[in-house]
Amino acid sequence: MEALKQKFAEKALSLYQELRSTTKANGSLKVDEVTLSQVVGGARGIKMMLWETSQLDPNKGIRFRGYSIPEIKEALPSGPQGEPKPEGLFWLMLTGEIPTAEEVDALTAEWHRRADVPEAVFTTLDSLPTDAHPMTQLTIGVMAMQSDSIFSRRYAEGMPKTEYWDAVYEDSMNLIARLPRVAAYIYRRTFKGGDHIAPDTSLDYSANYAHMLGSDDEDFRSLMRLYLTIHADHEGGNASAHTVHLVGSTLSDPYLAFSAGMNALAGPLHGLANQEVIKWIFEMIDNLGTKTPTKEQIADYVQQTLDEGKVIPGYGHAVLREPDPRFTAQRRFAEQYIHDSDLISTVWKIFDVVPPILQSLGKVKNPWPNVDAHSGALLVHYGFSEFSYYTVLFGVSRALGVLAAGIWSRALGMPLERPKSVTSEWVMNQVKNN
Ligand code: FCX
C-alpha cells in the first residue's frame, strides 16, 4: 500500500473509533442555536457538519490542520524559489502531518503514474464549441471520466461499508492526477487553437500544469505552486466544498461529487469572482482611458458600479471579517517577484479605496478583499489574460481540499446529509405563537 494511504488508514481508523464513542457518550451536547435570521439568511455560521481538512477563523483566515498560510509556506516542502508544493498540502490535509520532501516527491510520482486521461475525454471535449465556458468544459471533462470510477464499480459489486474510503481514495487520487491534463487541454483548445502540449513527468504537479498551459517560466511555476496551495480548501461550508460534501454523502462517486461542486464554484458570488474582478478592472481602465487610474478616479468608478446595483467583485466574504490572508499571500508574491506592473499597482490602489466605501454603506459585513481580488492581475502579468479560464485554475486547486475531505467523510462513516427545511407559513406561525 502507498505510504500516504497507509498513514491515512491508521489515522482514520483511530479517529473513527474515537468519534463514535465520543458521539455515543455526548450525543445530546448542544453545539449551536439557530436563529430565524440564519434560516432566512443563507445558513451563515450554523455549525452543522464535520470537515477535517481545514477551518476558517473570521479574523485570522484559513488554517489547514492548524497551520496558517504563512506557516504553511514555512513548513511545507517547496519548489526551488521557496513556494510550497500543493502535494504537501494534500498530504497534510489527509494525515495531519507535514510531509518530508521525499514523501512529497513520492506523491508527485504517484500522481504522474495515475495521470493517463482516457482518449474519450478529449473526444468529448472536442465535441463542444470552443466558446463553451471553460468551467462548463471542466465539469463535462470530469463527467466524461466518471465511467472509470472505482467506487461506482466496487459499489455495484457489493463492496462493504468499511471499504468505501479505500475506493474513494483511489478515485480521488486518479481524478487529482488527471485534472491538470484535462484543464490544460481545455485552455489550449479554447485559446491556443488546439495546439496541445504533452505533460513533462520530470516536473512537480504545479510546474507540469504550468508547462501544459504553455509556460516554463520559473516565476510562473512558483506562482502556480502558491496558487494551487492557497485555493485548495476553505473549510466545509463554502458553496463548492459543501456541494461536494452533500453529493458525496449520497454515495455518488468522487467524479459526480466533484463536478457538482465545480458547478457551484462557477457562480459569480463564489469562484467566478476571480474572472469578474479582472473584467471589472479592465472595464474601469477602458472607461477612464488610463492604465494608471488615480485613487479618486477609482473611487468614482466604484461608486458608479454600486449605483448600478452591482457588487464590487473580489470584496466581501460570508465568513471572513479581515483582509483575506490568501489576498495578502498573493500581494507578498507580487512584491517579491513583480516590479513595475500598472495592473498590480491598480489592484493595490483598489485595496486602499474600496473598504471605506463599502463600510460607508452600513450593510456590508466585510469590506475587505477576498482571494479573488488579486489572482487575475498576477495571471495577466505572466501572459494568461484569458480571464474566463481563471475559475478552472481555482477548481484544479479546490479538488485537493474537497477530495481529501471526501475521503475523510467516507472513512468516518458520515451518513447521508439531510438538514430540515421549513415553509414561510411555518415561520409565521412560530412567530405568532412565540
Ligand atoms: N459589493 C457591494 N455590496 C456588497 C459586497 C460587495 N463586494 N459584499 C456584500 N455586499 C452587500 C450584499 O450584496 C448585501 O446587500 P443586500 O442586503 O442589499 O442584499 C449586504 O452587503 C450584506 O451582505 P454580507 O452579509 O456582507 O455578505 P454575504 O455573506 O451575503 O455575501 C459575498 C458574501 C462574498 C457573496 C459578497 O460579499 C459578495 O457578493 N462579494 C462580491 C463577490 C465576490 O467577491 N465573491 C467571492 C467570494 C469568495 F472569496 C469566494 O468564494 O471565492
pLDDT digits (tens, 9 = 90+) for 109-131: 999 999 999 999 999 999 999 99
Is-catalytic flag, 270?
A: yes
Residue 61: strand, helix, or coil: strand
Catalytic residue among 233, 245, 372, 374: 372
R_g of the chain computed on alpha carbons: 22
pLDDT digits (tens, 9 = 90+) for 264-298: 999 999 999 999 999 999 999 999 999 999 999 99
pLDDT for res 125: 98
Catalytic residue among 231, 242, 245, 270: 270
| Average confidence (pLDDT) over 138-145 | 98
| Average confidence (pLDDT) over 59-72 | 97
Nearest CA to ligand 1 atom 37: 316
- 271 CB within 6 A, ligand 1: yes
Q: How confident is the model at residue 1 (pLDDT cuts 50, 70, 90)?
A: confident
Domain ranges of the chain: 101-269+387-411, 273-381
ipTM of the prediction: 0.99
Catalytic residue among 133, 242, 317, 374: 317
Q: Higher model confidence: residue 434 or residue 83? A: 83
Q: Which residues of 7-30 are buried (b: 16+ CB within 10 A; e: fewer)?
A: bbeebbeebbeeeeeeeeeeeeee
pLDDT digits (tens, 9 = 90+) for 176-214: 999 999 999 999 999 999 999 999 999 999 999 999 999
Q: Among 38, 62, 263, 315, which is best to mutate for testing ligand 1, by the most ligand atoms less than 8 A from CB?
A: 315
- 365 CB within 6 A, ligand 1: yes
CATH architecture of the domain covering 101-269+387-411: Orthogonal Bundle (1.10)
Q: How confident is the model at residue 103 (pLDDT cuts 50, 70, 90)?
A: very high
- Rounded to the nearest integer, the mean pLDDT of the chain is 97
pLDDT for res 371: 96
Burial of 225 from C-beta contacts in 10 A (0-12 / 13-18 / 19+): buried
| Average confidence (pLDDT) over 305-317 | 97
CA of 315 to the centre of ligand 1 (A): 7
| Average confidence (pLDDT) over 397-410 | 98
- 270 CB within 6 A, ligand 1: yes
The CB density around residue 395, as the number of other CB atoms within 10 Å, is 26
Residue 78: strand, helix, or coil: strand
pLDDT digits (tens, 9 = 90+) for 218-259: 999 999 999 999 999 999 999 999 999 999 999 999 999 999
Cell of 55: 477551518
Is-catalytic flag, 317?
A: yes
pTM across the whole model: 0.97
Q: Which atom of ligand 1 is nearest to the CA of 366?
A: 26
Percent with pLDDT over 90 in the chain: 99
Rounded-to-integer distance, Cα 181 and Cα 67, Å? 30
pLDDT digits (tens, 9 = 90+) for 79-95: 999 999 999 999 999 99
Question: Backbone phi, then psi, for 369, in 5-degree steps?
Answer: -70, 150
Where does 273-381 sit in CATH, by number?
Answer: 1.10.230.10
